[in-house]
């Protein structure tokens, strides 16, 4: 059974014609901050797809490599690649032990991919994973509704700031990418 991811915050938002994804930079080992500037956002497919991860870094890199292979195999079709990765992740003896989650974005889609076989398209075009996920998601939903003039990137930055102010596993060192 996969453990819930309890460190970091990754948030993706589609708003006003753009999609942004961001993550904080904190890596923890137990209750100790091990590093504060980890890049948890990766560009794939020459920047056409961007992925963010929460969980074990080594596990996430393994999954990112497999996801990029699937993207290549399926002609850049993000949804198909995600479904195939989720199938492998759930059934492969090695992969099913990996403890991580991912959010992937393209210009037209946001997906959450987990080791339990889930490939989810979030409601309201907001997706969040990690320990600060609910804080960031709540903030993003409120900003989309009450500050519609903000860009997707501005919503991600402000929402991650709110999560970092509340969640001890999330810091204010953000990486944000936009499509």
Which residues are bridge partners to 12 per DSSP? 21, 127
- Residue 46: burial class (beta carbons within 10 Å; 0-12, 13-18, 19+): exposed
Which pair of structure tokens corresponds to residue 40?
């948890």
> Rounded to whole angstroms, how far apart are CA atoms 32 and 46?
35
Which residues are bridge partners to 99 per DSSP? none
Cα 111–chain centre separation: 9
Catalytic residue set = 8
C-beta of residue 59 within 8 angstroms of C-beta of residue 91: no
C-beta of residue 42 within 8 angstroms of C-beta of residue 49: no
Q: How many CB atoms lie within 10 A of CB 76?
A: 15
> Rounded to whole angstroms, how far apart are CA atoms 8 and 107?
24
């Amino acid at each position: 059974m996969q453990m819930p991811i309890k460190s970091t915050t990754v948030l993706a938002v589609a708003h006003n014609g753009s999609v942004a994804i961001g993550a904080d930079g904190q890596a923890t080992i137990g209750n100790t901050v091990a590093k504060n500037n980890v890049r948890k956002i990766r560009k794939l497919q020459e920047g056409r797809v961007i992925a963010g991860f929460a969980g074990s870094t080594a596990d996430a890199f393994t999954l990112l490599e497999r996801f990029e292979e699937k993207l290549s195999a399926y002609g850049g079709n993000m949804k198909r690649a995600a479904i195939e990765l989720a199938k492998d992740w759930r059934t492969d003896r090695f992969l099913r032990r990996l403890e991580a989650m991912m959010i992937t974005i393209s210009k037209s889609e946001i997906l959450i991919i987990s080791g339990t076989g889930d490939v989810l398209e979030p409601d309201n075009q907001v997706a969040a994973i990690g320990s600060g996920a609910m804080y960031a998601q709540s903030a993003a939903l409120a900003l989309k509704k009450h500050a519609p003039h903000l860009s997707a990137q501005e919503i991600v930055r402000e929402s991650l700031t709110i999560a970092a102010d509340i969640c001890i596993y999330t810091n204010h060192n953000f990486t944000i990418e936009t499509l």
